[in-house]
Amino acid sequence: NPFLVGVTGGIGSGKSTLCRYLAELGCELFEADVVAKELQLDDSEVISGIKKLFGENVYGKDPEGNLFLDRRMIAGVVFSDREKLDALNRLVHPKVFNAFDRALERARSNGSRLLVKEAAILFESGSSTALDFVVVVASGMEERVARAVAKGLGSREEIFRRIGSQWPQEKLMEMADYVVCNNGSLEELRLKAVALYRYLLSLAERDS
């Protein structure tokens, strides 16, 4: 069985970047948030559920004619409507879990030693309990906001509000088995990924 590693962190912490480095080093990577986004665009059950919750207008077509989901609008609605957030999660999460099970099967048959699951709400969704080891990526508030704004996730005010609705970074750090402080350059983050990868491999050996 592969050793199962979770990676999480708040908006703009750098978790996707860390995971990309881990994948380059040889980890199998399952990106829960990417899978969730794909389901929202190509799973008919999810699409009709989202339309019921948020109205037909949340979907549109981009200039190339591809289906487009107004995630910024959804983020705005669920921020002040807990019920809708829960309903959205009930619609999408079970399918993400199934997709992870399939990724695990693939990793098993490939003989992979490390499978990394990246998710923004790893602890909140309860999925951390099924993993062997959880890594939290942490960063200063100012950097996180600036990165999220640069990524086009919303205005400074929107990002601050979303950070305020997530579990505090300190709480994630307390629950983590390992914390990566992303407070330097991208090159420093890559070096931290190398150190983490070696450590994970040693844990995986010990486990097997």
Does the protein bind ligand ATP through residue 7 (CB under 6 A)? no
What SS3 state is found at 164? Answer: helix
What SS3 state is found at 178? Answer: strand
Does the protein bind ligand ATP through residue 12 (CB under 6 A)? yes
Burial of 95 (0-12, 13-18, 19+ CB in 10 A): middle
Does the protein bind ligand ATP through residue 75 (CB under 6 A)? no
Residues 114-133 that bind ligand ATP (CB under 6 A): 120
Does the protein bind ligand ATP through residue 8 (CB under 6 A)? no
Which of the 8 DSSP states describes residue 13?
S
In angstroms, what is the minimal distance from the CB of 44 to ligand ATP? 26
**Binding-site residue positions:** 12-17
Helix (H) or strand (E) holding 200: helix 186-207
From the list 75, 42, 96, the residue with the least C-alpha distance to 148 is: 75
Does the protein bind ligand ATP through residue 72 (CB under 6 A)? no
CB 154 within 8 A of CB 198: no
Does the protein bind ligand ATP through residue 6 (CB under 6 A)? no
Does the protein bind ligand ATP through residue 194 (CB under 6 A)? no
Among 4, 7, 15, 131, binds ligand ATP (CB under 6 A): 15
In the complex with ligand ATP, which residue's Cβ is closer, 19 or 204? 19
Bridge partners for 179 per DSSP: 136
In the complex with ligand ATP, which residue's Cβ is closer, 127 or 203? 127
In the complex with ligand ATP, which residue's Cβ is closer, 114 or 148? 148
**Binding-site residue positions for ATP:** 12-17
Which of the 8 DSSP states describes residue 184?
S
How do beta strands 178-181 and 133-138 pair?
parallel
Question: Binding string, 143-182, against ligand ATP, x = CB under 6 A?
Answer: ----xx--x-x----------------------------x
Contact window for ligand ATP (CB under 6 A) among 14-22, 47-55, 57-65, 124-132: 14-22
From the list 13, 53, 5, 47, the residue with the least C-alpha distance to 139 is: 13
In angstroms, what is the minimal distance from the CB of 120 to ligand ATP? 5
Distance between CA atoms of residues 12 and 149, nearest Å: 9
Give residues in contact with ligand ATP (CB under 6 A). Answer: 9, 11-17, 120, 147-148, 151, 153, 182, 184-186, 189
